[in-house]
Amino acid sequence: MVRTTRNQEIHSQIITMHHRCIFTKLVALGTIILASGCATYYQANQSFNQDFERGNLESALATLQANTKEAKSKREFLYYVNNGLVLSMMSRYKESNAYLEKAFLFGEDYRMNYLNEAASYLTNPNVTTYRGEDHEHLMLLYYKAINYLKLGDTQAALVECRRLNIRLQQLSDRYKNENKFQRDAFIHTLMGLIYETDKDYNNAFIAYRNAATIYEEDYSRLFNISVPEQLKKDLVRMAWLNGFTSEYEFYKSKWNMPEGDFEMPPANQAEVIFFWHNGLAPVKAEWGINFLVDRRDNWVYFYNRELGINFPFSLEGYDQKEKDGLARLEVFRVAFPRYMERPLYFQEASIITNGAEQPLALLEDVNKIAFKSLQQRMHLELSKALIRVALKKVTEYQVKQEDKTLGSVLGVINAITEKADTRNWQTLPHSIYYTRVAVPAGQSKLTLTLKDGNRSTTHDFSYTLNKGQILFHTFTSLESRYPNYGFFDSDSYRD
């Protein structure tokens, strides 16, 4: 009898020691997570972001490149694209393209790591590799193509153009719902411009026509962007150059275009294709959504009335302990990412050359596309987040049944590790505008005017161009206003 009691004592001491050991480890782990994990991706890169937003590009690049570990981290895609974008802004196009190529190959070779994916269900989605949003994979090729065009390497730009075409096809095949962002008009326009630079007017025509169709069918409805006037002129001009008489007549009358509005620039002239990158893309913040839990028969319903979301989970096949664990849940909070818009500082811009002023037309609203991309997979993301939290809660409940202290500690750790994935490409512009300006061969000048209400800022540029040369110029204004959450349409996330 004594012996048994002694054995029990030893056993219980071992258990206590074991628990203490786990307890210490858990507290240490919790502290580490607390110290490193609470900030969003934007906040964690505060120093780089500050330099970048102020236009201190040398310093921003130094900060970025000092942190070489990022290249081998779960954020390698963002490391490459940020380097690529900053170097492109600094006119270091070859270096920029070396980074962007790595980002492209990352996208090509990306394969899901299922262990990390599984681990994310027990901790948070930040343990998975950031794979990049659809539009981010398109944008990196835009920067790459533009870099090549600035280096005068049209053939290399055409390679990017073909890669873009494949990416666009993948995008349109992935989504079947026409209310989703599945066709990118801006990228088609860019492809048209590249083909036109290569004097491949047939492909330029196809690209412009596809772009115009997407602006009319998708962009006007989803993003409130209509067909840019410049694109109309380019499309009609290409139809004419290809001898596509019926298409030429069709578009000319459809858009009511005056005769002579789409002529080729005189042979002794050159052209500047001017892209304006206005403002900054949105950043992601964390957002807690509270769910109420209702259990009926063998089903558990997680619902949020405000958002009109209801996720049913079947309890079929789960043992009683797990059912009890789920049944004891009444309300819980799920961490979810949400975009914060960085509203535009400048509303519009125009270019003046030889006394004539022409506005820059909106081609792409990266901000709205980002919001749209997140909304359209919100259902999937929310259900993943729900499973994650439910799993944590069930484990917590079961541990609590066996050991109250350990259960409580696990509860604290679960609360700490519950975190949304706030990573995204944040150095992208908010919106992209463009226009084409015919300038005389030789020396020429133009003035860019950025307008903010009644105030305006001007920038002068001078060029030396050959006859018939097409020059690509990008201008980035990083100014933006204080972030806000933008508009969230609770109905629009649905499939």
In the complex, the residues that contact another protein under the rule CB under 8 A are 111-112, 114-115, 117-118, 121-122, 162, 165, 169, 173, 176, 191, 202-203, 206-207, 209-210, 242-244, 247, 318-319, 322, 387, 391, 394-395, 398
**Closest to another protein by CB, 117 or 479:** 117
To the nearest whole angstrom, how small is the minimum distance from the Cβ of residue 275 to another protein?
A: 22
Nearest CB to another protein, comparing residues 250 and 485: 250
Rounded least distance, CB 295 to another protein, Å? 15
Nearer to another protein, 300 or 450 (CB): 300
Q: How many Å apart are CA 222 and CA 162, to the nearest integer?
A: 26
**14 vs 115 by CB, closer to another protein:** 115
- CB of 117: closest distance to another protein in angstroms? 6
**Minimum distance between the CB of residue 33 and another protein, rounded to whole angstroms?**
20
Query: Which residue, 366 or 409, has its beta carbon nearer to another protein?
Result: 409
Nearest to 189 by CA among 156, 213, 171: 213
Single-letter residue type at 74: K
3-class SS of residue 381 = helix
In the complex, minimum distance from the CB of residue 82 to another protein, in angstroms, rounded to a whole number: 27
Shorter beta-carbon distance to another protein: residue 121 or 287 = 121
Cα-based distances in Å from 132 to 74, 76, 84, 152, 429: 11, 10, 15, 29, 16
Distance between CA atoms of residues 78 and 284, nearest Å: 14
Distance CA 302, CA 320 (A): 19
C-alpha 24 chain-centroid distance: 40
If the CB atoms of residues 6 and 174 are measured against another protein, the closer one turns out to be 174
Name the DSSP letter for residue 172.
Answer: H
- Residues 411, 131, 53, CA angle at the centre, nearest 5°? 90
Contact (CB, 8 A) for 237 and 435:
no
- Which CB sits closer to another protein, 210 or 435? 210
- What does the DSSP 8-state code read for residue 277? E
The helix/strand/coil state of 332 is: strand
What phi and psi, each to the nearest 5 degrees, are found at residue 37?
-100, -5
Residue 165 vs 476, nearer CB to another protein: 165
Nearest-approach distance from CB 178 to another protein, in angstroms: 10
Residue 84, classed as helix, strand or coil, is helix
- Residues 409, 262: contact at Cβ < 8 Å? no
Q: How far is the CB of 416 from another protein (least distance, A)?
A: 19
Nearest to 365 by CA among 278, 296, 424: 278
* CA–CA distance, 53 with 377 (Å, rounded to integer): 29
Contact 145, 164 (CB under 8 A): yes
Shortest spacing between CB 245 and another protein, in angstroms: 11
Q: How far is the CB of 407 from another protein (least distance, A)?
A: 14
Q: How many CB atoms lie within 10 A of CB 10?
A: 10
Q: Which is nearer to another protein, 179 or 398 (CB)?
A: 398
For the CA atoms of 240, 242, 245, 246, the dihedral, rounded to the nearest 10 degrees, stands at -110
Least distance in angstroms from the C-beta of 388 to another protein: 10
